[in-house]
Structure 1
């Protein structure tokens, strides 16, 4: 089965990126520790966009991503970071072999 990569862009509330990052880092650690299909979860901090965070995630399969998207860690970060996230967009990608 083919791996699935996600490139996501998150806009945070103005001036709240550092606070949001605390919750996002905990989320990434939980996902890597408890979701066998989550292979990579990298958090990127754009240098010239102070209220933006980007993610590079790799999943073992589309099903693994769906398990992540509906999983407990996702529910936890939504609760923990309520009011800190303005928007989330993502692009699903195949990994060139």
Structure 2
């Protein structure tokens, strides 16, 4: 299997970035930590835009990324976070070809 990565950029409603983070921490942080399909995950605030969040996600495979989208945790996250977002995320799919291990 080839690893698979995503860069996901969210634009929040004005002034709602901290609220979005709280929802992410409630639902996604524990789900990602417990998910063996995630091999790396970085949840980041954009320094140039106070209403933007960018996440880098690396999975064991493209299939693992699709399976995660079917979890109850992800559904609960979407339900709670969508009203806080300005629209759907911008998603870029990537194939990692080199990584530095910690």
The reply to whether TM is greater than 0.5 is: yes
Segments of 5+ residues of structure 2 without an aligned counterpart are none
Q: Number of aligned pairs?
A: 96
Cα distance in structure 1, aligned partners of 2:73 and 2:38: 12
- 1:96 correspondence with 2:70: no
Note the residue ranges of structure 1 that are not aligned, 5 or more in a row: none
Runs of 4+ residues over 2 Å off in structure 1: none
Q: When the two structures are superposed, what TM-score results if normalisation uses the length of structure 2?
A: 0.86
Cα deviation 1:15-53 (Å, max 9, x = unaligned) = 1000001111231322221x2211222101011101100
3-state secondary structure, aligned to 2:5: strand
Q: Which residue of 1 aligns with 2:53?
A: 53
RMSD after superposition: 1.2
Aligned to 1:7: 7
After TM superposition, the score normalised by the length of structure 1 is: 0.90
Alignment check: 8 A CA contact 1:31 1:73 kept = no
Distance 1:23 1:41 in 2: 16
- 2:44 maps to 1:44: yes
Query: Quick check: 53-62 or 18-27, which moved more?
Result: 18-27
How far apart, in 1, do the equivalents of 2:3 and 2:82 lie?
30
Q: Secondary structure in 2 aligned to 1:5?
A: strand
| Structure that is richer in strand per residue | 1
Range with bigger deviation, 23-32 or 76-85: 23-32
